[in-house]
Amino acid sequence: MNWEALVFTLFSPVIGGFIYGLERVVRARMQGRVGPPVLQPFYDFLKLMDKRSIVIHSFHAFMGIMYLVGTWFSLYVLLSGGDLLIAIFFHVLSLAFLVVGGFSVRSPYSILGAMRELLHMVAYEPLYVLTAAGLYLVTGTFQISEILNSNEVPLFVLPLVFVSILLSLPTLLKKSPFDIAEAHQEIIGGPEIEYSGKFYEAVYTAKWIEYVYVFFLIFLFGGGNHLLGAFLVLFAFFFFNLLDNVTARVNFRQMVAFHWYVLIPLVVINLMLLALWRG
């Protein structure tokens, strides 16, 4: 049992909430607005606790909570230095809970959002598995604790993989230009539309945890050089906020095509060159 990791995982919603609050401020400043206070996500959290919750049916509410639990567990696997592939697959599983919950209600927006969520998974999951393979090629292990203590710096060997992960960040976090699953103007949040009160709170918190999860994946590209990793995280944060502000939503064909015809070939080229060079 890794107690340090457990404590970190338990406090990860707080860290994720701060990241989200900071993101809202940064986004507002980029648009020339003042923006909400940094603690705003926590105010939202406490307000949602006070609201009455309308439950559609118990299975739907349960799936919302399982989304939170699944994401939280995948983050624990990451933070405790476990297997990278297991963390990625648990994250897929948690999204599957959200999708099943989205399909289980009769709201057309919810069903449409769940379908689009599946398209998101089709788009970015191969990329993340290939990234794990790339990290394995560089450091010789899938164990995160060993990746973080290795002498290699994956960023210098896998620059194209890092670029593709950076460009697919909006897909995982559902930000513009790839926010088709929770397009707030057309399908009003997608699979999360029917959650209210405490159950929406679970979905909301799961999204904060996803921030920590994603930025930890970025952090891995620093390898043994933790300062470089921290810098990469900071860079990725500002980069995807900028991308979120300056781009409009693309349609799902363009999103999947961009991932399968541009990003995945980039990663494969990088891995093949690496294998040739090493061999």
Partner 1 sequence: MELKKFRKKSPWILHYNTGSCNGCDIEILACLAPKYDLERFGILNRGNPKQSDILLVTGPVTKRAKERLLRLYFEMPEPKVVVAVGACACTGGVFRHMYNVENGVDSIIPVDVYVPGCAARPESIIDGVVKALEILEKKKKEIELPPYCKVPEGEKLNRRKLLERCLEVINAGRRS
Which residues would be at the binding site for partner 1 (CB under 8 A)? 24, 28, 31-37, 40, 43-44, 46-54, 184-185, 188-189, 193-197, 200
Shortest Cβ distance from residue 46 to partner 1 (Å)?
4
Shortest Cβ distance from residue 72 to partner 1 (Å)?
22
Shortest Cβ distance from residue 91 to partner 1 (Å)?
24
* Angstrom distance (rounded) from CA 75 to CA 84: 10
CA angle 146, 96, 4 (to 5 degrees): 35
**Cβ distance to partner 1 smaller for residue 54 or 273:** 54
Shortest Cβ distance from residue 47 to partner 1 (Å)?
5
**Cβ distance to partner 1 smaller for residue 204 or 215:** 204
**Cβ distance to partner 1 smaller for residue 39 or 275:** 39
**Cβ distance to partner 1 smaller for residue 45 or 89:** 45
* Angstrom distance (rounded) from CA 185 to CA 48: 22
Phi and psi at 143, nearest 5°, equal: -75, 125
